[in-house]
Amino acid sequence: MSRNPYYSGPPSDHFNGERFFLPGGRSTDKSRLDLLRWRFRSRNLPEWPKIYPGLPQDRPPQRVEGGALRVTFVGHATFLIQTQGVNFLLDPVWSERTSPLSFAGPKRVNPPGIAFEDLPPLDAILLTHNHYDHMDVATLARLKRERPCPIITPLGNDTILRKVIRQVDARAFDWGDSVDVGGVRVHLTPAQHWSARGLYDRRMALWCGFVLETGAGKIYIAGDTGYGDGHLFRDIFVKHGAMRLALLPIGAYEPRWFMREQHVDPEEAVRMFQDVDAKAALGYHWGTFRLTDEAIDEPPKRLAIALERAGIAPERFRAARPGEVFEEAEYPPTSS
């Protein structure tokens, strides 16, 4: 009998009846001893400022119609994506801390790029996994009250949400599944990561990325992921084709011996950008909550160098700041 409190389903190439895993038996797991080793060795680290301002807060429109695309970076891994008259909110976090405790844990160093009150109506929330810097129950409960909509999330996370948010509309899917939201097809894609809300539930809920298939190009959302040998991202390209826009993590990567299997660094993010053949990209997962050892401004500096070495114009892949807006009137652009 499974001891998994979140999900009960048949075994697959990434679920053994109790825990999810990466196909091929690759592991992202680190032991508690590894965690202590990291913490005790992490000395003389660069300090993060208490305040690291983003751009002025954005006030998005109610809707963006047709082939136009508007994406606002709220901070860390939170984005508002508007296209085809549909509004998606990704991994929403408006709390001051990403922690099970309200008084301890990583603290926000810049305000959200959109004031909560300025959010437009939402058609779906996309939730990649259950780590506290992505599944923020306080924000999700407020959204349930003030911007109600379905939450699309991988297997098991719906159970977690139902236990803490009354009557939440959480809908769980597996890798490879897809669902229609207002004419936009949402595909769940694999990622090299893991999950846990406590000490004893590691990998008992699934994690994912997303591809949004619109009538005006595709948008790839990587979620949290390591790079591995890169086949996950090349497989996404083979299945879905080139991307109009990719949202790719560029931070929370040091020390590499601990983080390599779960978080990409900027150089690997550039390889992901190439693997999915993205026209443009925004880099996230940096500069809002301190989770790892690198300096707050190191990710964009390394990203700039990696792009130069790869011969990619810097405007094609920007390290996003809270409040930053990516806009395109149409896709593909009309020829002059």
Q: Tell me: pLDDT of 229 over 80.
A: yes
pLDDT for 115 equals 98
Residue 9 lies in a domain: no
Q: Which residues pair with 90 in a beta bridge?
A: 79, 126
**CATH code for the domain of 247:** 3.60.15.10
C-beta separation of 288 from 110 below 8 A = yes
37, containing H or E segment: helix 32-41
β-bridge mates for residue 51, sequence order: none
Is 3 inside a domain boundary?
A: no
Tokens of 208: 């994912």
14 lies in a domain? no
Residue 334: count of CB within 10 angstroms of its CB = 6
CA angle 145, 149, 154 (to 5 degrees): 115
Structural domain count, the chain:
1
Kindly state whether residue 27 falls inside one of the protein's structural domains.
Answer: no
pLDDT at 335 over 50: no
Taking 80 as the threshold, does the pLDDT of residue 183 lie above it? yes
The tokens describing 319, both together, are: 């390290």
pTM assigned to the model: 0.95
Q: Give the domain range for residue 254.
A: 50-328
What's the order of all strands across the beta sheet hosting 325-328?
Answer: 170-173, 151-154, 124-126, 86-90, 78-83, 69-75, 325-328
Please report the pLDDT score of residue 332 as a whole number: 73
- 334 pLDDT more than 70: no
Cα–Cα distance, 322 to 53 (Å, whole number): 8
Q: What angle do CA 299, 191, 199 make, to 5 degrees?
A: 90
Residue 38 lies in a domain: no
The percentage of residues in the chain with a pLDDT greater than 90, rounded to a whole number, is 87
Q: What string of DSSP letters covers 139-202?
A: HHHHHHHHS---EEEETTHHHHHHHHSTT--EEEE-TT-EEEETTEEEEEE--S----SSSS-T
Residues with Cβ within 8 Å of residue 284, at least 6 apart in sequence: 73, 76, 77, 79, 247, 248, 249, 250, 251, 320
193: in domain: yes
Distance separating alpha carbons of residues 167 and 16, to the nearest angstrom: 30
Q: How does residue 213 score in pLDDT terms, banded at 50, 70 and 90?
A: very high
Is residue 33 included in any domain, yes or no?
A: no
| pLDDT interval class at 336 (50, 70, 90) | very low
